[in-house]
Amino acid sequence: MKVSHRLESIPVSGIRKMFDLAGPDTINLGLGEPDLAPPEAAKEGAIRAIESGKNKYGPTAGTPAVRAAVAEWFSRFGNVGAGNIMMTPSGSTALLEIAQAFIDPGDEVLVPDPGFVMYDPLTRLAGGRPVGYGLTGGDFQPDIEDIKAKITDRTKIIVVNSPSNPTGGVLDAASYDALSDIAEDSGATIVSDEVYHCYIYEGEHRSFMSKLDRAVVVNSFSKMMAVTGWRLGFICADESLMPDLIKMQYHVCASVNMPSEYGVLNALPELDGYLKESCETFRKRRDLISERIGDIKGLSMTPPRGAFYAFPSFDLGMSSVELAGELLRDGLVCTPGSAFGAGGEGHLRFSYAADESKINAGMDILESTIKRLRRE
């Protein structure tokens, strides 16, 4: 059977491509997945749910007690209740459902460039037109002037991702206010992807949960509880959008992963202590990788403020795919910056969701490869 034109026009993710090339002995700083253990209470809750027979379809929007508990935990970021929460089978699915529910052919969607690999293809699959906007400064704030210049009367959505994959950038107050004003003035909706909200090392998380009149928020338990395989996330939106989102989700998956929901439900009451510890672990790794990268001539980076990615720039007269290829031959997997859009060219992304010995081994390879290429 011939593949649809729609799918044919979408490239394979650059992240997966590198991962598939990795040999058994390579150091993998390519994938964005915490290596920590999930909270014990999460595991207990999921196991108990399976053993007590919670293995069936559930309500499409998620189990009411779970929606209420999620709303309560996240009410630190905005005045949200169970009616604002729809559980989803992952942050990825949440993004797909939002794209399919709200984008019409010809609608324009402003996406960060560089930005997470799904925003552009999901917009195209829905028939929309992704329009990249730039990021500025060493801390990768959205380029407000660029966004303003690219707003048209077809602009339906502005995608914001803080903390950011791949840059590690965290929205500052000025950017947050400027984005809110742009949404207000233009009538566009902000789709805010906040899946790394709990990993911030400088500054604070500015959530669009407090602006649901102009924003739809995507979040996920994948990174927060180190349960990427559980596939559970949620959409936080104004109640008026819920019937359409629920209709959409019914046709995507009917309902979400029931044992995962109960795992999250059991873990939420004690989650703050777990998050403090995992954030501290990642802060130490961030300091380590920033110091190591800072010592390598030919690379440049301001220490990232959030998420678990380092996104240094390089100036070696080659593309990021070529440099990532050299590193792969020397035994290190990372992701070429161009996998995140044309604006990522000239950068590499290293995930530091790996233990310190792996980070050090990876940085040793990086240092010697760059020295060789610079003929030092």
Ligand X SMILES: Cc1ncc(COP(=O)(O)O)c(C=O)c1O
Binding positions for ligand X, rule: CB under 6 A: 32, 90-92, 116, 161, 165, 193, 195, 220, 222, 228, 233
Separation CA 82–CA 41 (nearest Å): 22
Q: Which residues of 165-190 are buried (b: 16+ CB within 10 A; e: fewer)?
A: bbbbbbbbeebbebbbebbeebebbb
Closest CB to ligand X among residues 176, 199 = 199
Q: In the complex, what is the shortest distance from the CB of residue 361 to ligand X, in angstroms, rounded to a whole number?
A: 23
Contact 163, 170 (CB under 8 A): yes
Q: In the complex, what is the shortest distance from the CB of residue 1 to ligand X, in angstroms, rounded to a whole number?
A: 27
Q: Which of 253, 220, 258 is nearest to 236 (CA)?
A: 220
- Helix axes 356-373 and 320-329, enclosed angle (nearest 10): 110
Q: In the complex, what is the shortest distance from the CB of residue 335 to ligand X, in angstroms, rounded to a whole number?
A: 11
Contact 66, 250 (CB under 8 A): no
Closest CB to ligand X among residues 118, 327 = 118
Q: In the complex, what is the shortest distance from the CB of residue 307 to ligand X, in angstroms, rounded to a whole number?
A: 8
Q: In the complex, what is the shortest distance from the CB of residue 142 to ligand X, in angstroms, rounded to a whole number?
A: 14
Closest CB to ligand X among residues 91, 169 = 91
Measured in whole angstroms, the distance separating CA 119 from the mean position of its chain's CA atoms is: 10
- Which residues partner with 191 through β-bridges? 159, 216
Q: In the complex, what is the shortest distance from the CB of residue 163 to ligand X, in angstroms, rounded to a whole number?
A: 9
Closest CB to ligand X among residues 169, 370 = 169
Contact 252, 93 (CB under 8 A): yes
Closest CB to ligand X among residues 92, 278 = 92
Residue type (1 letter), 76: R
Beta strands in the chain (DSSP E): 27-28, 85-88, 108-112, 129-133, 135-136, 141-142, 155-161, 189-193, 215-220, 233-236, 299-300, 309-310, 313-314, 332-333, 335-336, 348-351
Q: In the complex, what is the shortest distance from the CB of residue 56 to ligand X, in angstroms, rounded to a whole number?
A: 23
Q: In the complex, what is the shortest distance from the CB of residue 352 to ligand X, in angstroms, rounded to a whole number?
A: 14
Count of CA atoms in the C-beta half-sphere (13 A) of 247:
8
Q: Which residues of 11-32 are buried (b: 16+ CB within 10 A; e: fewer)?
A: eeebbebbeeebeeebbbbbbb
Closest CB to ligand X among residues 19, 154 = 19
Closest CB to ligand X among residues 182, 225 = 225
Closest CB to ligand X among residues 32, 39 = 32
Closest CB to ligand X among residues 131, 195 = 195
Q: Which of 128, 121, 126, 131 is nearest to 107 (CA)?
A: 128
Q: In the complex, what is the shortest distance from the CB of residue 119 to ligand X, in angstroms, rounded to a whole number?
A: 9
